[in-house]
Amino acid sequence: MKSKLSSPPILAYPDPSGLEFILDIDCSNSALGAVISQVQNGHEKVIADDKSKVSNSNSWINGLSDSEIKCAQREDKNLALIINLMENSDHKPTWHEICSESVVVKALWSQWKRLEIRNNILYRRWEDDTGKKISWQLVVPDSFKTDILTNLHDAVTAGHLGVNKPLGRIRERFYWPGVGENVKEWCRRCHQCGSRKRPPKTFKAPMKTYNVGAVMERVAMDIMGPLPLSERNNRYMMAYRSAEHDTTKYSPNVMLFGRDVRHPIDVLYGTVSNNENFDNLPDYVMQIRTYLDNVHEFARENINNASDKQKWYYDYKVNFKPYSVGDAVWLHDPKRKVGISPKLQCNWDGPYLILNSISDLVYRIQKLESSKPRVVHYNRLKPYHGDFDNWLIKTVIQKDTESHATAIEENNIESDIELSVNEQCDMFNFPTDNIEYGRGHRVKRPPNRFVPD
């Protein structure tokens, strides 16, 4: 065993000193293979190799024969009807002959002059805008649609390039009624596209307003620094706002102290006195309180008006569709990886399932049955349209089944108990006349009334 593991053929280490690498590729009807090697010390040595099987979705590599395409078209009910009509008559059928058929048949009937059978295969004639370029599109049966969409959108060579580019590739080669909507739905359900691309319209919840009506009800402080060290060893200072606020229309200093701060310019040029003299301190305090009450009343009105205006502008383009329990969603959870372009990273994780709504805008979600729930805001979610294993529905069905089985078992136990009560009644010869059977099959017996002698 030791000699087998240490003797050729074994993989060699690559030599990056300037030796050329040799790449050999081969394929068959069932697999692909590749080998990378180098000539080291006069001998070609294998550095790495890989192989993979060809899945059914990649059967287009082998190519389809005309007979296979012919059989697929004739196995399709709608295409078979059109082909039979074209082969058995030289004129276009009347509307009464096809009015009871499917939408696909009617769509192909409307393009009767553009359809042609070439080598027993149905094609559609296509011209570009100039009319100089003409190509023949294969009319695709339903059995080929999944393979075509997979190879022109999901394959490595396709690149998940959105809707327009795969649709253009398809229209150069194939045609079927409703191809545009099929491509859009395919891209919408694609897991790779959904994990990387933002939704065409951002899902955003409406604004919630929380206004204040009194001083110091909600406090926000502006700290400025670090500054040069002061005489008292301080580097930061609290900035008192002396500018007029856009919402309240008053400066924060007026709202709190009832007066504006004195700026250096006021010291330099002086200020105009209001010529109000107060004989005592209580009069001054009363005047300041009255002024602050008026300022606060006007500020509250201004805050309500400004919040309503801001909410109207914010909610004007809001796309809010609340989720229900069991809905599948994507979670916006970006994780930056060094060396990878942000456009290629998966910023959306999922699918998650909605467990319950904590509030109008906050939901509890869970990805797997064994994972921990997460509480997130509505703005971080978007709908998930792909296929997935809905473990939540299975759990609910299992619980319902278990509860149903438990209820049946409890009913059986209750029936056994009722049967034993009936047997006891027969044993002690209780009167059984006028016995009524109520809910749950419970036995009721009349009371023994006193009868005088």
Q: What H or E segment, with its residue span, contains residue 110?
A: helix 103-110
Nearest to 364, CA basis, from 394, 330, 325: 325
Return the pLDDT at 212: 83
Confidence band, pLDDT 50/70/90 cuts, at residue 297: very high
434 vs 40, which has greater pLDDT?
40
> What would the pLDDT profile of 333-367 be if each residue is shown by its tens digit?
888 878 777 777 888 888 999 999 998 889 999 99
> At 57, is the pLDDT very low, low, confident or very high (cuts 50, 70, 90)?
very low
Cα(192)–Cα(174) distance, integer angstroms = 24
**Is the pLDDT reported for residue 249 higher than 70?**
yes
Q: Hey, how many other C-beta atoms are within 10 angstroms of the C-beta on 332? A: 16
Q: Scanning the structure block, which residue is given the tokens 């039979």? A: 84
For residue 365, the SS3 value is strand
pLDDT, residue 25, reads: 86
Q: What is residue 445's predicted lDDT score, i.e. its pLDDT? A: 64
Asked whether the beta carbons of 418 and 442 are under 8 A apart, the reply is yes
Q: Of 68-77, 90-99, 278-287, 302-311, which gets the smallest average pLDDT?
A: 278-287
Asked if residue 59 has pLDDT above 50, the reply is no
Confidence bin at 5 (pLDDT 50/70/90): low
Looking at residue 434, what is its pLDDT?
A: 46
Q: Bridge-partner residues for 48, per DSSP? A: 36
Interval 401-420 mean pLDDT: 58
What pLDDT digit, counting tens, does each position of 23-41 carry?
888 877 667 788 888 888 8
Q: How far is CA 75 from CA 115, 178, 217, in A?
A: 18, 20, 75
Q: How many helices (H) and strands (E) does the chain have?
A: 13, 14
pLDDT score at 363: 93
Closest CA to 120 of 171, 52, 173, 68: 68
Higher-confidence residue of 291 and 437: namely: 291
255 in Cβ contact with 267 (< 8 Å): no
The band of 53, judged by pLDDT with boundaries at 50, 70 and 90, is low
Residue 92 main-chain phi, psi, to 5 deg? -75, 135
* Position 405 pLDDT exceeds 70: no
Q: Is the pLDDT of residue 375 over 90?
A: yes
